[in-house]
Amino acid sequence: MTVSQNGFKLIIPGNTNVPTMINAIIRATLQLRSESQNNLLTFRQVHIFHTEQSLQALMASTAAWQAALSLHEIPITSLIHHVTKLDDSNVDRFRDLVEQLRTIVNPLDNTHYYIDLTSGVASLKAILAVFAYVLDIKNIYTLEVQFSRDREESNRQKSLFYHQLEQEGVKLVYRQFPPIREFDEFGKLNYTEILRYRTIVSELSDELTMLLPTKFDLEHLRASLLSGINARLLGEHTGETSHYRQAVFASSAGVEEISNFILALLKNNALENQPLGTKLNEVKTLFTKNPKYFINESVLEHFTRLIAETRNEIVHPIPIKKKDKEMMAIQATLSSQLALTFLRFAIKAIASFLD
């Protein structure tokens, strides 16, 4: 590593067993020094996420753990203490932790984060693991100590600091977690991003439902929009252009369904047997002739034309012109975003017209 010392921060959960907590700091520091080949390097900041009990335990035995840190030339001043209350609800505790974590992270800094999940209560470790995933933190470790099978001896060993465990020959293994960015495979296959878009589509559909008579069924609209997004993600994962084509088809079907709603509600004619381009032209004409219209006519002209042409280029390709995969991916992304934007536009327009 060529990053300066200012570029390293360590984050760990607190523990009522003080030696376990301090040993995690020591072993993480030794790992940092080994990776950087710099025996003087330490973390500029060591953020400890305590429960009230673990902070009390740490403050009750300062001399012993401070001596253990000093033995490895780890400055006590680098420790920064955060406290979360276990008696808070899970939601409140999570929000509080997120806010505290937000103060640690500066995306403009070239900081290397290390996270040690050796100690702490399960909820703290779970939140820090998610935090590591979001920030794509690769340096996630846990210290595994092979204590004696004899209970009394094991309890005694658990009160020892790192250098004492080494002196007694206790087996110490520091394991790095496998790359959790591998979970992105789930996201590409539809799990994380589809769940996020499902919420967006559901919220927008609920808004539209409030404006439409009960005879209008929005299930086909929801399915089309989500199918378009899912197909696009599958295309990104597999690289197959057929998924990108399906993404454009499905998103365009969603746009057509929205057009049907607008025309049926405001014109009493959904133009069922007409192509999408004709329906979009009718929507544009309908809106521009209404005194409550709120968007520049030229903007709507380009907007509806872009939707129609993106679909037509996929549905009616030029035989002599072969599309490359990258362009198909762009059109798939554009088509799904245009569909969601058109849905937002329809909600605004219908609400304005119905007053």
Contact between 92 and 84 under an 8 Å Cβ cutoff? The reply is: no
Which of 259, 233, 204 has the alpha carbon at shortest distance from 329? 233
pLDDT exceeds 50 at position 265: yes
Confidence band of 182 (pLDDT split at 50, 70, 90): low
Determine the average pLDDT of the residues in 315-340: 78
Q: Which of 23-37, 101-115, 283-297, 302-316 has the highest mean pLDDT?
A: 23-37
Q: Over 194-252, what HEC string results?
A: HHHHHHHHHHHHHHHHCCCCCCCCCHHHHHHHHHHHHHHHHHHHHCCHHHHHHHHHHHH
In angstroms, rounded to a whole number, what is the distance separating the alpha carbons of residues 130 and 136?
10
Q: Which of 41-50, 111-120, 172-181, 258-267 has the highest mean pLDDT?
A: 41-50
In angstroms, rounded to a whole number, what is the distance separating the alpha carbons of residues 19 and 26?
10
In angstroms, rounded to a whole number, what is the distance separating the alpha carbons of residues 187 and 194?
8
| More confident site: 112 or 178 | 112
Q: Match 């996020």 to its residue by tokens.
A: 196
**Residue 48 CB-density burial (10 A; 0-12 exposed, 13-18 middle, 19+ buried):** buried
Confidence band of 3 (pLDDT split at 50, 70, 90): very low
| More confident site: 273 or 160 | 160
Main-chain dihedrals φ then ψ at residue 46, nearest 5 degrees: -120, 105
Can you read off the two tokens belonging to residue 348?
A: 């605004």
Main-chain dihedrals φ then ψ at residue 29, nearest 5 degrees: -65, -40
Q: What is the pLDDT of residues 217-255, one digit of tens each?
A: 888 899 999 899 888 888 887 888 889 989 999 999 999
What is the three-class DSSP state of 217? coil
pLDDT exceeds 70 at position 309: yes
Can you read off the two tokens belonging to residue 119?
A: 């100690």
Can you read off the two tokens belonging to residue 101?
A: 């974590």
DSSP β-ladder status, 139-146 and 171-176: antiparallel
